Chains A and B, each alone.
Chain A
Amino acid sequence: DTAVSQTPKYLVTQMGNDKSIKCEQNLGHDTMYWYKQDSKKFLKIMFSYNNKELIINETVPNRFSPKSPDKAHLNLHINSLELGDSAVYFCASSQTGNSYNEQFFGPGTRLTVL
């Protein structure tokens, strides 16, 4: 069984469009995350979310917004897509309470904005 899953795996769209990426985890973790990995493989955290708080990386444009219908899901909505949004987006989850708990990553969504 897949622990952290994302859909779609590939997303190709035009500039200006609005798109969503879905993420689900079946690990029972209480916190989920979104990361952006650029073409140089640099991994940047965008959001951290649990049922108590949303922590936003202040460098993330407000065109990006996380939506969590329940503990097992954290979807990423992107409005008015720009060329610079092209990247691989990873969802992850972890169990907080102990900072030594590792993160479990999804397979990634490769977003290409034309």
Chain B
Amino acid sequence: AQSVSQHNHHVILSEAASLELGCNYSYGGTVNLFWYVQYPGQHLQLLLKYFSGDPLVKGIKGFEAEFIKSKFSFNLRKPSVQWSDTAEYFCALTSGGSYIPTFGRGTSLIVHP
């Protein structure tokens, strides 16, 4: 069975600080990895995804994530956060055998102006 772990449940930063949110997964085969963002009161939307090729993936709003296969990780990064980045961030995984995603528990990010 596949699983996704997000160890940082709550992160509080000041504007302009750098961000790294952890995501680790458990699955022995080929994976596709996603980061979704949920702004307050809104629905989830895709930030970025990895399925093949360059392990460093760039997404919207200056976010990027790096797939490190040896560490089973797909951490999300942003060099300088803004107040508007305050949101819930979800890491998710699908595998070759299933299109149904497995979501992590989410990380709540609060950015103080």
Contact = CB atoms under 8 A, between A and B. Distances in A.
A43 B42 contact: no
Interface stretch (A14-22, A59-67, A70-78, A94-102): A94-102
Nearest to A110: B41
A100 B100 contact: no
Contacts of B49: 100, 102
B25 interface: no
Contacts of B101: 45, 103
A81 to B, nearest CB: 23
B interface secondary structure, majority: strand
A interface secondary structure, majority: loop
A31 B12 CA distance: 36
Nearest to B93: A99
Interface of B: 32, 34, 36, 38, 42-46, 49, 51-52, 88, 90, 94-101, 103, 105-106, 108
